[in-house]
Amino acid sequence: MLEEIKRTAAFIKAHTENFTPEVGIVLGTGLGGFADGIDTAWTLEYKDIPGFPVSTVEGHKGRLIFGEVEGRKVVAMQGRFHYYEGYTMQQVTFPIRVMQQLGIRYLFVSNASGGINTSFRVGDLMVITDHINLMPNPLIGRNLDELGPRFPDMHNCYDKELISAATRIAEEENIKLQYGVYVGGTGPTFETQAEYRYFKAIGGDAAGMSTVPEVIVARHMSIPVFGVSVITNCGLSDEVGDHEDVQRQGRKAGAKMELLFKRMIKNLK
């Protein structure tokens, strides 16, 4: 596995004149618009990168974008891999391993999710303060000792300093932020009403089908993580979740998220 990661990283370096990104960014459903704001130097389609799985979900473009945001070097995943697509957890998290080999020092993740906290509204941005993992753990199997410990600590999983920076920037930019716990399930079904109530009862604020595997793998490698969920539906209301709605709401709230990510990247140490 480590060899495959290194081989893919070497391929990417060879095709980007050794581009060394400081920040890795994962763009979630409907949030790919952030890529338009990247001063792009190189784009690589997943299908052209050896070792990369290929994204199958509608609304997910599958490519890596290398360039600058506010003068900082970034690599963005436009489209991610989901467990429900049939990929293994190792495949889902492979790009994060590769980005670490390319040199990222921070990981920014975004997703669309269903609000469970009843004070949340559609279109809200929720800063992820913690998560509950209801998927198989991506670290099951032989540990890659060279990359991180067998039993990684999950305190401060979502970096407190980055959360404070987000709060400060959101105040300056007049962006309303919610904060909460992301519950990661496998999907692809949206939750039943009883499941949304269960997620709420165990301490969740938003429900989704991604992010947690990538964050676990990033933390395994001690990379600080910042995560934002766009609330695209409210699970405990009577309305029915639907993928088009999720994409539409994602795009609408995307502008706020883009501004927040941009300013945060500018302010990184």
Binding site for ligand HPA (CB under 6 A): 112-114, 190-191, 207-209, 232-233, 235, 241, 246
Alpha-carbon gap, residue 126 to 111, rounded angstroms: 10
Q: Which residue is nearest to ligand HPA (CB)?
A: 114
Which CB sits closer to ligand HPA, 116 or 163? 116
Which CB sits closer to ligand HPA, 170 or 209? 209
CA 258 from centroid of its chain's CA atoms? 13
Which CB sits closer to ligand HPA, 103 or 187? 187
**H-type alpha helices, the chain:** 2-15, 89-102, 160-173, 193-201, 212-220, 243-267
Q: How far is the CB of 243 from ligand HPA (least distance, A)?
A: 8
Q: How far is the CB of 186 from ligand HPA (least distance, A)?
A: 10
Q: How far is the CB of 248 from ligand HPA (least distance, A)?
A: 12
**H-type alpha helices, 26-147:** 89-102
* Rg from Cα positions in the chain: 17
Alpha-carbon gap, residue 57 to 25, rounded angstroms: 19
Which CB sits closer to ligand HPA, 67 or 114? 114
Q: How far is the CB of 86 from ligand HPA (least distance, A)?
A: 17
Q: Taking Cα atoms as reference points, which of 91, 107, 94, 37 lies closest to residue 65?
A: 37
Q: How far is the CB of 249 from ligand HPA (least distance, A)?
A: 9
Q: How far is the CB of 18 from ligand HPA (least distance, A)?
A: 37
Which CB sits closer to ligand HPA, 191 or 258? 191
Residues with Cβ within 8 Å of 231's Cβ and at least 6 positions away in sequence, in order, are 113, 114, 115, 120, 121, 122, 123, 124, 125, 126, 178, 206, 249, 253
CA 240 from centroid of its chain's CA atoms? 24
Which CB sits closer to ligand HPA, 20 or 189? 189
Q: Is 221 helix (H, G, I), strand (E, B) or coil?
A: coil
